[in-house]
Structure 1
Amino acid sequence: MKTNIGNCIETSGIASLIKTFHSIRWGIVCGNNHLNQLNPHLDISSCPLLMCTEPTEQKLSAVFVGVSSWGFGGTNVHLHCYGGVDEEIRLPPEPTPQELRPRLSYWPSGGGDLGSMSRPRRGFFIIGSWSGWTEPEPMEDEGDGCYGYTLVLGDTRWEQFQLLIDNSYSKVLHPQRYKAPKGTEVFGPTRQEEVMQDSTWFVDGRPNNTQIRAITASAGATAVATPEPLTFTNEDEGLPGQLYRIRLHIAGKWRTVTWAKAKEAPQGLLALKGPEAKYYVAGSWNNYRFEEMTAVSDGTYTCEVSLSSGPNRFQITRNGDWHQAIFPVSPNAGPTVEIEGPSDRKDRHWLVSATAGEKLKITFQRSIDASGSSKMKVLWEKL
């Protein structure tokens, strides 16, 4: 705080709190002005600590932030703040078209050698969003350093995945970023608790008609620059049930992951060969632990929960995965509000007021047509 606006003395606490609110709202951590060199007596190499010297984007759209204040009179206060990015003032970034993304080089002729920890004894395995990150499946050895797996696109029309060496969660292969495209470098092996699901490959079968404007000049002495829209389509676009062949390529020390459509699925096939999705309720009454919903009919799921006193908030997730959260478009919503997802979790919930111990039956309905478009509805009733 002092490096940004100076020493506020008596108002330091409230100034820090206001700064924190704005930081959460914009999703940006302010840098420390004039910080050029750390004290050499500070050993922070083993601490999960980042000294920001410039504005830094938060890793998640919703975060917890702590604020501390120590008064001259001996009054010490610490607050935990929770909130998310206000997308009305800071719109989410547009994805970069795959054609414009920088590609890392992969040398198919090889060179160098992988360390012993990176060489499998039992083979490579794949784990992903289609199974709720719970069921690793073996990849097939195609020879010449290539290992493959056939993925069936689910009803969300996208999937995320990581790779395991020898089916071990202590040997996770992953990209260096979240939702990485094909052709990116492979990192690891790394322990799962160090990467979690924040470094994944992302197979996106949704249509992408991203447009950018290219500047062209007219011929002649009076040339005028004219913007023309260029449209990039998604080469991986596919309906639910589309098959993709995922491949891990290894040549010496070089590794990369690619995928391509295996073959077209019959029109209207809604991932019939893929695992059946499960849905879970996560609410404030039990600190957002997952409670599995019961399928009562095709596309309809229910769950009975015990509420706590006061306002109760909840979301629904697909396959118990916070990267596949289902939530209303507005915060503290009722049952008539439009629904978004499955997508990365955002700080928007359904709200129900109750007394302690009151029972609530939550019903979730989701129907998917042949184009992969889904209609969702959330209802509830007190028992």
Structure 2
Amino acid sequence: MTDTSPVKLAKSLIACPSITPATGSVFETCESMLEPLGFEVSRFVAGDAPEQADLGGAVENLFAIRRGADDSRHFAFAGHLDVVPPGEGWHSDPFAPEIRGDLLYGRGAVDMKGSIAAFVSALHQLPRDLGTISLIITGDEEGPARFGTVALMDWMAERNIRPDLCVVGEPTSVHRLGDMVKIGRRGSVNMWVTVNGTQGHVAYPHLADNPITRLGKILSEIDELHLDGGTDWFQASNIEFTDLHVGNPAHNVIPARAEGRLSIRFNDQHSGDSLSQMIREIVEKHGGKLRPVISGEPFLTPPGELSELVATAITDVTGVEPELSTSGGTSDARFLSKIVPVVEFGLCNATMHKLDEAVAIADLDQLAEIYALIVRRALG
């Protein structure tokens, strides 16, 4: 009998090196898991044009669907097979999955090959005529995210495919499996500030224009901003300075250029454009230039049917009552929220992106059980 346990499936996925942007064997492995379950699997590469190389390069994506009756609801699971680089210092090969004690070690065990394995394992517990089920799987979540889920959404739109409900399998649990479900995320915008001046000798400042002085005024004025006090579901927006650069090797020279960088995580009282305009007015008042890059807008799936489905299944399996939260960084749910109600739920995140990333085998088993219960109730 074929072993369809989540730990077996997770080991198969972890064994495929898939540093972002991912292509190749990890998708072949995922496809081989889904086709015997009756899924129609489509794979395609996006971002492979020469002019797109600087934007992240070629990314492989996978969309799998098992259709129910024409009038059946459509439940989607979304995730990513790419992983961050493992780094040096692991106690075992990060791409040779290893069980030590009660834990499965390997890059992606938590973020998020383990979650994908748990969902595929859950599918084996469900009748094939339950309803329409799909998997939206990218190889570009950990990278620039330009040719991953966004490209999948375009591909789906061209084929008039639109889910009714979606769960993203990001590792949202904190202290134990099921203690937190994400129903939204703050937005993110990074901004580069450049101030050009006139180089000169420090003894003759009247013949120069020091850009550091003006950059300091810009950053001081930005630091004084109070964006908001938070909302019922979101914490307060925050501005953090992340880099200062002048690159002046001489102690007696006023430099010609100074640069700074800041990052804003913001709630739904703002947009990336509104914050960019706010900061631009300050920067340009002092003669600087601003280059903003918006990596995500805030989203919220208000508590309702989907969050209740997920929370109830968690409690029924684990006895834990999850907290509904919008904390943390961004995920591909920020894109999917534009077309479908979406929440995020997955494994404990304590070791994600760390050396010796590991997942509790018992958590994998329970996660598969929770996912099966969610889908059964969503489509039943």
> Which structure carries more relative contact order (alpha carbon 8 Å, separation 6+)?
2
The structure whose Rg is larger is 1
Q: TM-score, normalised by structure 1?
A: 0.22
In terms of fraction of residues, the more strand-rich structure is 1
TM-score (norm 2): 0.22
